Amino acid sequence: MRIAEYVSFDAVGLAELVATGETTTAELQSAAREAARAVNPQINAIVETWPTDDEPEPEPGSAPLAGVPFLIKDIGISMAGRRMELGSRLAAGNIAGVDSFLMRRFRRAGLVTFGRTATPELAYGITTESLLHGATRNPWDPGRSAGGSSGGAGAAVAAGVVPIAHATDAAGSLRIPAASNGLFGLKPTRGRVSMGPGADEVFNGLAVHGSVSRTVRDSAALLDLIRGPEPGDPYSARQPSRPYAEEITRPPGSLRIGVLAGATGAWGGRRTTAPVADALARTARLLESLGHRVEEVEVGLGSDREEFILANARLMAANLTASVDELAAAFGRPVDSTTLEPVTLAGYHYGQQVSGAQFVAALANRNHVARSLARYFDAHDMLLTPTLPELPLPLGTHTEGAETLDGLGWIERINDLSPFTMAFNVAGTPAMSVPVTADAGTGLPIGMQFAAAHGHEGLLFRLAAQLEEASPWSGRSPAVWAGDCAGR
């Protein structure tokens, strides 16, 4: 299969070709690897590929996504015998001993995993520019960030290496790369996908597993295959009444959708720039044309901005400190500037100062936010915001002067750059970034975020499928696109 043909299919389409005998798993692997070789030197999204000769090849049609090439993020998941370095010099050379629960489910889905994607160090940022592996570049404009912390996944999918890839999200880390790279990305409800067995929860429930993809149906199909609790999980989300792959075939009905008032920034964040504000207005008009009731709303978080940021800084830094100490002990390495980047080291030291009482107070803040947002969804089906307040930023912007920040200052910067995403991690509710539109001046994609009540991924998928049909994005391709490789 030539690359130009390979990139014209999504994951569900590729699996159908394998099931009907029109192509083979080996042919898809060859195309994916050729695509990676063609584009990765330009975007630096994939940090390692490995041979799949020692992996059992799935039988055609034996699983819903049998034979589809796949990539996993370099954190949050373990694949037996493969490196997982967390984007950090502190964990360089780390090899996983066993498959995590999620990896087992990816295998059962029939996915053929052949590499890992870049992440910022310990996923502690919203741009993917680690010292260990270098900067991941946005395929739409290689001078700009691909987002983070799932930036490698976003860039690889956007450039056509794979149709869908594993991603995680603790403060927007899935939705931010989706928006930056013109992809669809849905952050599931807390407890929808197991974090085990190595962890019961990550960042006290703020982090979840998911994916970024070029089509809504791919994300729906994969979430069907990985959802559901495992023994010992601290959280579980009520299972849907029907598969998500079926939900996308159903109309969403007339939804009551609130638009966060003013589009001037979420809960005290920075002002939304003109291209994004214009895209938000166009999205609202599109929703109205589809029969939805759209109104501007005020949404309280049950916490002021300073308390919200302080609570999240304490939760994240305390968790970071524990993880760093565990890694340092495991590898016999020091915790200093030779193993950690400045912002990570600052977060580590900040976390050392968090008291038990402060940590419990931060968990109480999480509860206030969850209760407040739940009340909003009593009266509305969804909340609409931009995913990001501005277009993807030039590389280096996120970390400029970061060496002067302490742990609290770094989390404040993250919230300032992405003021719309973190609240839904704190509340544990599902949210998605949809590439409804693009900037007319630059052609860069702009993501719109939709959030729904706890457990209502099905409703989000139905709306996403409707938007995908009304405002298709699959025909757009970035400047760095595997399908453009000459002679392939």
Instruction: Write the pLDDT tens digit of every residue in 319-369.
Output: 999 999 999 999 999 999 999 999 999 999 999 999 999 999 999 999 999
- Measured N-to-C along each axis, helices 101-108 and 216-226 cross at an angle, to the nearest 10 degrees, of 120
**pLDDT, tens only, 165-204:** 999 999 999 999 999 999 999 999 999 999 999 999 999 9
Q: CA 372, 374, 377, 379: dihedral to nearest 10 degrees?
A: -70
Helices (H), 252-400: 274-289, 305-331, 342-352, 356-379
Give residue 487's pLDDT.
47
Enter the pTM of the model. 0.97
468 pLDDT above the threshold of 70? yes
Active site residue 173: yes
What number is the average pLDDT over the span 280-294? 97
- Other C-beta atoms closer than 10 Å to the C-beta of 274 total 11
- CA 62 to chain CA centroid, nearest Å: 28
Catalytic annotation, pick one of 73, 78, 150, 303: 73
High-pLDDT (> 90) share of the chain, %: 93
**pLDDT, tens only, 94-149:** 999 999 999 999 999 999 999 999 999 999 999 999 999 999 999 999 999 999 99
Give residue 475's pLDDT.
84
As to burial, measured by CB atoms within 10 angstroms (0-12 exposed, 13-18 middle, 19+ buried), residue 423 is buried
Give residue 145's pLDDT.
98
**Could you tell me which residues come within 8 angstroms of residue 198 by beta carbon, excluding any fewer than 6 positions away?**
78, 100
* 385/266 Cα distance (integer angstroms): 8
84 pLDDT above the threshold of 80? yes
Mean pLDDT of the chain: 95
User: Residue 36 is part of which domain span?
Assistant: 3-484
431 pLDDT above the threshold of 60? yes
Catalytic annotation, pick one of 88, 100, 149, 418: 149
In three-state form (DSSP H/G/I as H, E/B as E, the rest C), the secondary structure along 389-426 is: CCCCCECCCCCCCHHHCCHHHHHHHHHHHCCCCHHHHH
H/E stretch holding 120 reads none
Catalytic annotation, pick one of 78, 150, 173, 433: 173
CA dist 149 to 22, 44, 244, Å?
36, 14, 25
488 pLDDT above the threshold of 50? no
Active site residue 187: no
Contact 188, 36 (CB under 8 A): no
**Could you tell me which residues come within 8 angstroms of residue 268 by beta carbon, excluding any fewer than 6 positions away?**
304, 305, 419
Give residue 268's pLDDT.
67
CATH, residue 104: 3.90.1300.10
Please report how many Cα atoms fall inside a 13 Å half-sphere around the Cα of residue 68, on the Cβ side.
34
Give residue 59's pLDDT.
73
Rg (CA), the chain: 21
What number is the average pLDDT over the span 427-446? 97
264 pLDDT above the threshold of 70? no
As to burial, measured by CB atoms within 10 angstroms (0-12 exposed, 13-18 middle, 19+ buried), residue 338 is exposed
What number is the average pLDDT over the span 16-40? 97
Give residue 266's pLDDT.
64
Active site residue 145: no
* 408/268 Cα distance (integer angstroms): 16
Report how many domains make up the chain. 1
Which residue type does 62 have? S
* 225/120 Cα distance (integer angstroms): 27
418 pLDDT above the threshold of 70? yes
What number is the average pLDDT over the span 381-397? 97
* 108/35 Cα distance (integer angstroms): 25
Q: Would you place residue 385 in the very low, low, confident or very high pLDDT band (cuts 50, 70, 90)?
A: very high
63 pLDDT above the threshold of 90? no
